[in-house]
Structure 1
Amino acid sequence: MFFLFSLSCTNKDQVENSGVLGLLNAGSGTPEYFEFSNEAVNLNYKTYGDAKSSQDQKLIKESYLVFETGDIDKSYSNIVAVIKKYNGYIQDDSAEKDYYRIIRRLTVRIPTANFQNTIDDVSKNVEYFDTKQTTLRDVTEEFIDLEARLKAKKELEKRYLELLKKAKNVQELLEVEKELSHIREEIEAKQGRLKYLENKVSLSSINIEFYKTNSESKVTKSYGSKMWNAIVSGFDGLSTFFLGILYIWPFIIILIIVFFIIKRWLKKRKKNEANSKK
């Protein structure tokens, strides 16, 4: 009695036309013979393909909104009220401040059924959007495909479990358990991907960025700031110059001494030349 494993699928993620052809006739005179091949169990995709036309579209919806506001806190309160109204929540909330602007950024998750209503209500309090962008990604095909592959993998798992019960020795037991381990890993991976897609489909994302521009005159303040920076830089440069002199004072003294020696020598030489002419 022996097991013949002929798993000849060329792609691990490809379904799983491979299956189990089990001549499970234990107790009969015929030896138990288990062959695994591409054509062993024909998992018919037509059944799953027909379901695609009747299944609702799976859309991942995302939006990105940017606008200026005169009151950061008021805009934040209005947005929070809209989010609560439509049963959403804030996933990320951050704020920053630079020389010109105060910025608030929110990542909102909202039930997909309330996606457009949320955007419309937020827009009521906005005079003008710097950016207003919405994207839709259809993942229906991937969703159907994952469900089909997952069903095929679970069917294959059942067949291997049947083989596990019929294993007659440790070697056969280990071989079947090894294959079962691989199948279960693939099942968990596909279940994880399906869960991720279901979350993205059921809860849409809205990224909102709103900011307030400082009311002070940018030109006046900027020009005055530049003048002050120039004055400070001038003092810094002067200080650096004097510090540099202090660093090289021994060389300066040597140069002064050499200068006086040369000057004295030239003066003495000139005097000697004048005396020799007399």
Structure 2
Amino acid sequence: MVFVHVTRRRIALLAVVALVVVAGCSGASNQAGGSDDGAKTGQTGGVGSYYDATGDRIVVREARLKLRVENFSQTFRSTRTIAKQYGGYVGDRSQDTRGDWAEGRMAVRVPPENFSDARDDLAALGYVEDESVSVKDFTREYNNREERIADLEKEEAALERLLAQTNETDEANRIRDDLRDIREQIRSLESEQQSIEQRETMSTITVNAHEPVGEQPPRNYRSSFGFDDAFLKAFYGGLTAVKYVVVFFGYAIPVGLALLPLGAFGLGLVAGFRRIRRVVSTVLSPETATDDDPVERVQQRASDDTEQGSADGDDGDGESQNGG
């Protein structure tokens, strides 16, 4: 009997899920048809408005303006006034100032129905050098997500009814797990829907404004006189030189220590080679060979005495003739 009871509940659960799927498919076809009809009869929704019961399309426009203005500070104040006038505000802002010259970026967020008027007033603040407008349609994505949420809510209600009727602990635990998963999916989808609605509630106009380029000083500009730039440049130049010196010695010292033994060995080889060369040249010298041979030394002395005697005889004969 227990087996039959559990089987009947499983069959009932499958039947409920099948009914939910069929209902979801029919609802999706009906909503798709209504959406197509709305598109054919005219897109009456305001540009940038999020989807609601009147059939408005989910369309958002974003614009980017590049303006050349005479005074950036005055332009920023005017931009803030225009945003407030059309029910919006100035969000992110960045500015780069060099002396009396300035440029910057401002993100203006206004309601979508005031997008065109706000854009025209912002463009009138200066000369428009560049402009781009992007249009994004989230209608299909939003509708698909809404249909998915509706199907999950029907399945959640069916499981809740089934949970209230079951008496089996295991079956109840399984149903609770399924409910937990379904509710988590619903929360995630609703969070995404809210994110889209928040993004589309306010349209964004990004304004990039700069003063005339001819009045733009160099990027390293700090003052009209320039002494602070000169001192800072000299200071940082000195630090750079010291850095390179430290880097040079950081490389040179380890390399020098590594090459020191090799240098000492090379010097030893050179000194030994020179010493050997000196000894060899001394041994092979003719004067050294004559001095070292006794026989040649005696013969050389005898030859020298003979030559000396002959020279003395010649001198005596010459003197006798002169006397006669």
- Do they superpose with TM above 0.5? yes
More helix by share: 2
How many corresponding residue pairs? Answer: 229
Distance 1:4 1:93, change over 3 A: farther
After superposition, residues 7-22 of structure 1 pair within 5 angstroms as none
Answer yes or no: is 1:46 the counterpart of 2:29: yes
1:152 partner letter: D
Instruction: Tell me the equivalent position of 2:64.
Output: 64
CA positional deviation for 1:99: 9.5
User: Cα deviation per residue 1:93-150 (whole Å; 9 max; x = unaligned)?
Assistant: 2223469963322222210001111100101122232x21110111111121111111
After superposition, residues 244-259 of structure 1 pair within 5 angstroms as none
What is the distance in 2 between the residues matched to 1:168 and 1:72? 74
CA positional deviation for 1:170: 1.9
What is the distance in 1 between the residues matched to 2:165 and 2:190? 29
Q: Which has the larger radius of gyration?
A: 2
Instruction: Tell me the equivalent position of 1:252.
Output: none
What is the distance in 2 between the residues matched to 1:191 and 1:149? 10
1:2 partner letter: V
Match of 1:34 among 9, 13, 36: 13
Secondary structure of 2:167 counterpart: coil
So what's the TM-score if we normalise by structure 2? Answer: 0.57
Secondary structure of 2:125 counterpart: coil
| Contact kept in structure 2, 1:63 and 1:133, CA below 8 Å | yes
Distance 1:197 1:125, change over 3 A: same
1:162 partner letter: R
Answer yes or no: is 1:82 the counterpart of 2:82: yes
| Unaligned stretches of 5+ residues in structure 2 | 39-54, 254-266, 272-277, 279-286, 288-324
What is the distance in 2 between the residues matched to 1:104 and 1:145? 40
CA positional deviation for 1:36: 5.3
Instruction: Tell me the equivalent position of 1:205.
Output: 204
| Contact kept in structure 2, 1:4 and 1:36, CA below 8 Å | no
Answer yes or no: is 1:2 the counterpart of 2:6: yes
User: Cα deviation per residue 1:172-208 (whole Å; 9 max; x = unaligned)?
Assistant: 2111111111111111111111111212222111122
What is the distance in 1 between the residues matched to 2:108 and 2:148? 32
What is the distance in 2 between the residues matched to 1:127 and 1:155? 56
Secondary structure of 2:104 counterpart: strand
Instruction: Tell me the equivalent position of 1:194.
Output: 193
More strand by share: 1
What is the distance in 2 between the residues matched to 1:192 and 1:128? 39
Instruction: Tell me the equivalent position of 2:95.
Output: 95
| Contact kept in structure 2, 1:3 and 1:35, CA below 8 Å | no
What is the distance in 1 between the residues matched to 2:96 and 2:216? 18
2:179 partner letter: L
1:103 partner letter: E
So what's the TM-score if we normalise by structure 1? Answer: 0.66
> Aligned-pair RMSD on alpha carbons?
4.4
Distance 1:63 1:142, change over 3 A: same
CA positional deviation for 1:3: 5.8
User: Cα deviation per residue 1:46-69 (whole Å; 9 max; x = unaligned)?
Assistant: 222133133111102111112222
Distance 1:161 1:68, change over 3 A: same
What is the distance in 1 between the residues matched to 2:31 and 2:100? 57
| Contact kept in structure 2, 1:100 and 1:214, CA below 8 Å | no
2:33 partner letter: D
Q: Which runs of 4+ in 1 moved over 6 A?
A: 98-101
What is the distance in 2 between the residues matched to 1:197 and 1:167? 40
| Unaligned stretches of 5+ residues in structure 1 | 7-21, 23-32, 249-257, 263-268, 270-275
After superposition, residues 149-164 of structure 1 pair within 5 angstroms as 149-164=148-163
2:75 partner letter: S
Distance 1:148 1:217, change over 3 A: closer
